[in-house]
Structure 1
């Protein structure tokens, strides 16, 4: 039996949901931090709109382990503001041959559970509460993309046999493959599930991901050669 759908609207953003939506999963103590916004009244209004939208999305995504959403004009400073304590190193902006990152879901451990903090450069989402703006859909897609990372991590920690601490590489081969495979799978999932927000641009990141996967074969050949030379899987 299929549920009929109705739309929920938050500040002009329409989100399709079932007629009997599930309960909100966002923790009551989750907070939004807006950093570097010149007009404090605008920053306060924006933070309220962000938390309202997140509550609606938490009926679709499991955001029960989301601690905070940090949106700042200085992305490096915004990342540094997240206190991951001693268990996970401080995050740094992603920068590689494929592009420069401006948004990230940062994990941290609390009471032996993995929680998430979402950090986004303000320039990517400043139109999140402006539905008539030409960049609104892209802003929404970026925001949903990061929340999907939170959802996927929660799904992993809830369902992995033996708990998340049991998720360790079986051997040196696994240890080398996981840093390649896991990010690709994570980005594919997040982009695919957020593409509805901006259908005309939804495949952009997937095309970049395809290029990354095409490059994997060359990386494997390079790693094999290195192993033959050094006999060490860690080199």
Structure 2
């Protein structure tokens, strides 16, 4: 089956509920690669979960929900409401992505659309409690992204999907601070709904930290700077590598904060950070994200977000290259990484 199931068809909201849900009753489920009866059953159960989570997380800006066995195709073909050369793809370098909440434009209004791999969505029919906990937490995390995006758009209307970056360097800068902030806030909002993701985030962060120096070294060894395009790609890759490291740190830090453990990362993380160049940056980004969260949805300027980007750039300059900015968005770099001349 390739079609839609309207929320009204699966279960109505009970008007007697003391805490009304923010789940939009007009939400459609786009179901791909399954029989109609199965699709309706999955949509029915998912709608119930979304309604319950919508009592704790504001998902009033939800555009729709797509469930697909061919998840990669669903991502690539999602109608985002505008023309873009960027094709949505799942995470594959650190784990494998099974859910995503990209922004879309509908009649000029920014909304969020949630996509799930059908394997995960199908857990709603499982008799295994751990499967149910997993899908519940996955839904909560993606719902948190809906709330985060709406809050940012309310404070800074017209930016997301509708504004261009002043310079390419700032595009790298903003991509990284957006990813770090979004995952910190999403994990802090979703917390341990369903199950506690902290052990998994801890393991992933430590793994990425152990690999980061070798990964950047390989980027440096492969860089020759023969053309501006090659330089741009190299700089973007280095920003991306360090940004990915801090993004996975933010997954962990947001979850820590959700259970009241800010500043207390635990023995495994402290051991991994002992003697590491990352240690001071780790606690600085925790403070920056925490400060942003304390004024969630009431931001009068972007200084707090830019501070995260500045921290990433500080790491790039400290560890790999000096960036010299010129006029008109032009820039030059001097690579001082230990592998620059090997």
TM bracket, shorter-chain basis: 0.7 to 0.9
| Secondary structure of the structure 1 residue equivalent to 2:130 | coil
Q: Is the 1:109–1:115 Cα contact (8 Å) retained in structure 2?
A: yes
Who is 2:78 aligned against?
A: 82
Does 2:10 correspond to 1:27? no
Q: Is the 1:26–1:58 Cα contact (8 Å) retained in structure 2?
A: yes
1:66 Cα shift?
0.9
Who is 2:100 aligned against?
A: 104
What are the Cα deviations for residues 50-100 of structure 1, in whole angstroms up to 9, with x where unaligned?
122212222222212211111111111221342113245564223353233
Counterpart of 1:123 (choices 119, 124, 132) is 119
1:140 Cα shift?
1.2
Residue segments in structure 1 that go unaligned for 5+ positions in a row: 1-18
1:129 Cα shift?
4.2
Does 2:154 correspond to 1:158? yes
**CA distance 1:193–1:26, change in 2 (3 Å):** same
> What is the CA–CA distance in structure 2 between the aligned matches of 1:192 and 1:205, rounded to whole Å?
13
What are the Cα deviations for residues 99-152 of structure 1, in whole angstroms up to 9, with x where unaligned?
332211011122332111101111223212436443221111111111110111
**CA distance 1:206–1:170, change in 2 (3 Å):** farther
Q: TM-score, normalised by structure 2?
A: 0.53
Residue segments in structure 2 that go unaligned for 5+ positions in a row: 1-16, 210-244, 247-277, 282-311, 334-342
What are the Cα deviations for residues 187-228 of structure 1, in whole angstroms up to 9, with x where unaligned?
122223223224443442365357412595764446634x35
| Secondary structure of the structure 2 residue equivalent to 1:125 | helix
Q: Which has the higher helix share?
A: 2
**CA distance 1:229–1:28, change in 2 (3 Å):** closer
Select the structure of larger CA radius of gyration. 2
Q: Which has the higher strand share?
A: 1
